[in-house]
Structure 1
Amino acid sequence: MSWRYLVRRILLLLLVMWTAATINFFIPKLSPRDPIKERLQLAATQGGRNQTGLQAMADAYAHQYGLDQPLWKQYLHALLKVVQFDYGYSISQYPRTVNSVIGDALPWTICLGLVSILIAFVVGTVLGAALGWPRSPGWLRALVPVSMLTSAVPAFVLGFLLIYLFAFRLKVFPLAGAYSQTADPGWSLSFVGDVIDHAFLPALALVLFQLGGQALQMRGLMVMTVGEDYITFADAKGLRPRRVFLRYAVRNALLPQVTGLVMSLGTFIFSTVLVETLFAYPGLGGLINSAIQVLDYNLLYGITMILVFAVCIATLAVDLIYPLLDPRIRYDRR
């Protein structure tokens, strides 16, 4: 692999991160609301205290969060914090830092999203390859309309349907949450089973949402691949159908399939956030929802930058493993 190409890709990643950080910084500033004053007024109202000294407290907190500085200083400070992976204190959960708040929710999102997208990709790719192979059983064609339906329905709508059917009507799975309120968190088999039981419906909603699109895309790639000359030549040589299917058809259709997976990562992450909010799952979805309601600038900034960074790293990683999937791809000038 060419080092010049690797440097260009890393510079492009940094450019994307800078653009996302800039947009993420300025959009919340367009709101006329003052999150510091809102939090202090809420605390004063709930505590039955008067408003004496409220402005002074608001000014003190604004100075602590750097909100009293000129906009360009806030912007440079925010960029420096992005480089340091330090997003300061959470306005809504002070005195906790943004990193600690995200650190509690991130493992739930990673487990739910990563497992769901891997299952959807593997099953969707195998199913799509079988649908596009002319020698597959005819009954598989009945799955094409089902795949089109699930790919067209948003993940949170599928989540509503699953909640109504399996949690409300049949009462097979829990309605919401990550584990039972009476459960004792730990690595015991009972707690792990309880977590899996609560994660089944949100994971199923994400898998069904991604599965149909993956299957239809792989089916289209297989249809185009089957018509290539090397497939006809492999059949003429008398190779076994299984080898033609795996080594010639699936292997050549897999590269665009991986590219499509990377292209859909942004949509999948957004769907994961919505599904987590719907199921009251303790991941980044609930944090984003609460941060938007109270306009927690620092928490919103940290979550968004982590999501953008994850998509950029995934894109770079897949781009670098392309030569392993297809030896014809070279990033050097030879």
Structure 2
Amino acid sequence: MYLLRKLTFYLAALWAAVTLNFLIPRLLPGNPVDILISKLAQQGPVAPGTRDSLEMLLGSDTSESLWSQYVSYLGGLLKGDFGTSVTYFPAPVTDVIGQAIPWTLLLVGISTLLAFLLGVGLGAFAGWKRGTWVDSIIPATALLQSVPYFWLALVLVYFFAVNLGWFPLSGGYDVNSVSPGWSWEFIESAISYGTLPAITIVVSSIGGWLLGMRNMMVSTLSDDYVVTAEAKGLHPMRVMITYAARNAALPSVAGFAISLGFVVAGSIVTEQVFSYPGIGNAMLLAVSNNDYALMQGLFLVITIAVLVSNLLVDLFYGLIDPRTRTRN
């Protein structure tokens, strides 16, 4: 019953998200067909029937009712057809997403995992050493979280890419000397180009994990089971890790699982500053070009990732805390 209730809720949430995903781009001003026709007009005269053909191709035929467009949209989703991208015309949306999402998953995924592990580990230690000089460093790390992504990214670019030349200025890899593939030259180039954006994400997000874990750690240390473990004379490291940190980390684990869903969305500002070929960069291009199909495809992928992450968190908590399965 618990699993069925959760699945029903998330299926309803998915349907609502898909419906909003269909409606929101169509409420935006402008028309993707007009944008594409203007691009074609720069190369020569456009035939009179071109508009009708493009409207049918892009699924934005204004002669159809909104309900007919909605039914066609749902039918395309069930077939795995997200339409054709205006920005990358005539490439299908699935191809565009398929090319962009590995870059974002590697960059933002690894950066988020690294920030989580460092933040939770340092936060647990700072909470255990509350009131010492270690604990006094927390405000400085929390300050980093308030720094805007783009400002921190520009500062790092200025010092480490422009002045020192330690890292490339922008891009995902050296397009002039290597080709994408499973070669060491390409992997080395991708790591070199992705290091500075990854540092930006880690530095700007580690403060939140650290502060949250530190506060939970301080609260957990006053619980009876921790006090009892200390009274038994157990080793301090065992008390810190097995009793205190293990329970204090539960909210952080839930937050991390949810944040994994947003990894698919990428760090839009960071990718834009570094011209990184990920989902965030593709989304900005889709919005600027009124690319309905690409926007809908990207939003749908992000929505599914977030819903799946939340569902996994609910099921995980149902396993570790049976009380959640009986709550209304």
Number of the residue aligned with 1:14: 11
The DSSP-based 3-state class of the residue aligned with 2:275 is: coil
How far 1:142 sits from its partner (Å)?
4.1
Number of the residue aligned with 2:28: 31
State how far apart, in whole Å, the 2-side matches of 1:328 and 1:162 are. 46
- Is 1:222 the counterpart of 2:209? The answer is no
State how far apart, in whole Å, the 1-side matches of 2:266 and 2:152 are. 11
The DSSP-based 3-state class of the residue aligned with 2:166 is: coil
How far 1:263 sits from its partner (Å)?
4.8
Number of the residue aligned with 2:147: 153
- After the TM superposition, which residues 162-173 of structure 1 pair with which residues of structure 2 at under 5 Å, given as runs? 162-173=156-167
Q: 2:174 is matched with which residue: 177, 180, 187?
A: 180
- After the TM superposition, which residues 84-233 of structure 1 pair with which residues of structure 2 at under 5 Å, given as runs? 84-134=79-129, 138-185=132-179, 186-233=181-228
Q: Judging changes above 3 Å, is the alpha-carbon distance between structure 1 residues 119 and 279 closer, same or farther for their aligned structure 2 residues?
A: same
Q: 1:64 is matched with which residue: 57, 67, 82?
A: 57
- After the TM superposition, which residues 165-314 of structure 1 pair with which residues of structure 2 at under 5 Å, given as runs? 165-185=159-179, 186-264=181-259, 272-314=267-309
Asked if the contact 1:183–1:191 (Cα under 8 Å) also holds between the matched residues in 2, the reply is no
- After the TM superposition, which residues 46-57 of structure 1 pair with which residues of structure 2 at under 5 Å, given as runs? 47=43, 49-50=44-45, 53-54=47-48, 56-57=49-50
CA RMSD of aligned residues (A): 2.2
The DSSP-based 3-state class of the residue aligned with 1:143 is: helix
State how far apart, in whole Å, the 2-side matches of 1:328 and 1:92 are. 49
The DSSP-based 3-state class of the residue aligned with 2:101 is: helix
How far 1:71 sits from its partner (Å)?
0.8
How far 1:269 sits from its partner (Å)?
5.7
Asked if the contact 2:59–2:69 (Cα under 8 Å) also holds between the matched residues in 1, the reply is yes
The DSSP-based 3-state class of the residue aligned with 2:212 is: helix
Asked if the contact 2:108–2:198 (Cα under 8 Å) also holds between the matched residues in 1, the reply is yes
State how far apart, in whole Å, the 1-side matches of 2:237 and 2:250 are. 19
Asked if the contact 1:255–1:322 (Cα under 8 Å) also holds between the matched residues in 2, the reply is no
Q: Judging changes above 3 Å, is the alpha-carbon distance between structure 1 residues 268 and 140 closer, same or farther for their aligned structure 2 residues?
A: farther
- Is 1:43 the counterpart of 2:40? The answer is yes
Asked if the contact 1:129–1:218 (Cα under 8 Å) also holds between the matched residues in 2, the reply is yes
Amino acid at match of 1:290: L
Number of the residue aligned with 2:316: 321
Q: Judging changes above 3 Å, is the alpha-carbon distance between structure 1 residues 329 and 245 closer, same or farther for their aligned structure 2 residues?
A: farther
CA displacement 1:95-120 (0-9 Å, x = unmatched) = 32111111011111111111011101
The range that moved more, 208-217 or 285-294, is 285-294
How far 1:177 sits from its partner (Å)?
0.5
Amino acid at match of 2:50: M
State how far apart, in whole Å, the 1-side matches of 2:196 and 2:208 are. 19
CA displacement 1:168-189 (0-9 Å, x = unmatched) = 1211111110111223223232
State how far apart, in whole Å, the 2-side matches of 1:66 and 1:86 are. 11
State how far apart, in whole Å, the 2-side matches of 1:113 and 1:123 are. 15
The range that moved more, 65-74 or 183-192, is 183-192
Asked if the contact 2:128–2:218 (Cα under 8 Å) also holds between the matched residues in 1, the reply is yes
The range that moved more, 179-188 or 298-307, is 179-188
Q: Which structure 2 segments of 5+ residues have no match? A: none
Percent same amino acid among aligned pairs? Answer: 38
How far 1:302 sits from its partner (Å)?
0.3
CA displacement 1:275-325 (0-9 Å, x = unmatched) = 11211111111211111121111111001100111111111122222356x
State how far apart, in whole Å, the 2-side matches of 1:78 and 1:284 are. 22
Amino acid at match of 1:77: S
TM-score normalized by structure 1? 0.90
State how far apart, in whole Å, the 2-side matches of 1:154 and 1:263 are. 22
Asked if the contact 1:116–1:203 (Cα under 8 Å) also holds between the matched residues in 2, the reply is yes
- Is 1:80 the counterpart of 2:75? The answer is yes
How far 1:74 sits from its partner (Å)?
0.8
State how far apart, in whole Å, the 2-side matches of 1:327 and 1:17 are. 26
CA displacement 1:81-105 (0-9 Å, x = unmatched) = 3344321222232332111111011
